[in-house]
Amino acid sequence: KPPMPSPMPMPKPPELPWRVAGPAENALPGIVPRPTSLPGIPRCHLETTALPSAVKAEAWHPNAQEFAAGTPTGLIRIYNGRTRKLERLLMGHAQDVAVLSYRPDGGQLASASLDGTVRLWNPDGRAAVVFRRHEHPVYALAWDAAGRRLASGDLGGTAWLWTADGQPLKNLREE
């Protein structure tokens, strides 16, 4: 028998640009610093730290140290107002974030979405309250001057008044 030819060596796979080497200790929660394949997960969504091309809503914190940007994916991105670096991602809305409003004392951020919800977020990025009384996309939010009440309005013509801790005070359409 003639000798079997030796197998050809497999070429080394090319280095892929998204496999970044280096420490990941500065990665924000929810951001994957070095994407890789995930067994059993056919696809995933990755966010960059750069501001996305479409921003649907924005608001400055009263102390001007941070600003919030709402996206069509339902994420709210909190940036450092001085350095413009991404500091936090707030996840909760299922559709476009339509409007953002900081409480006058800066204690909470209110967000409203096409998914019909209004959310209050604590300064650390945790969701504090979710208002689910609207039946239509919510496009308007406003705090009273003292920051004790929040008004929200939807495309169906309904406006609600809420306490800062999430209790409904009044449906203005029923008045």
Q: What is the pLDDT of residue 31?
A: 54
Identify the residue with better confidence: 123 or 40.
Answer: 123
The percentage of residues in the chain with a pLDDT greater than 90, rounded to a whole number, is 43
| Confidence class for position 21, pLDDT limits 50, 70, 90 | very low
pLDDT at 121 over 90: yes
Spell out the SS3 assignment of the chain. Answer: CCCCCCCCCCCCCCCCCCCCCCCCCCCCCCCCCCCCCCCCCCCCCCCCCCCCCCCCEEEECCCCCEEEEECCCCCEEEEECCCCCEEEEECCCCCCEEEEEECCCCCCEEEEECCCCEEEECCCCCEEEEECCCCCCEEEEEECCCCCEEEEEECCCCEEEEECCCCEEEEHHHC
What is the model's pLDDT at position 166? 82
Can you tell me the mean pLDDT for 140-165? 92
Q: What is the pLDDT of residues 32-71, one digit of tens each?
A: 555 556 666 666 656 666 666 688 899 999 998 999 999 9
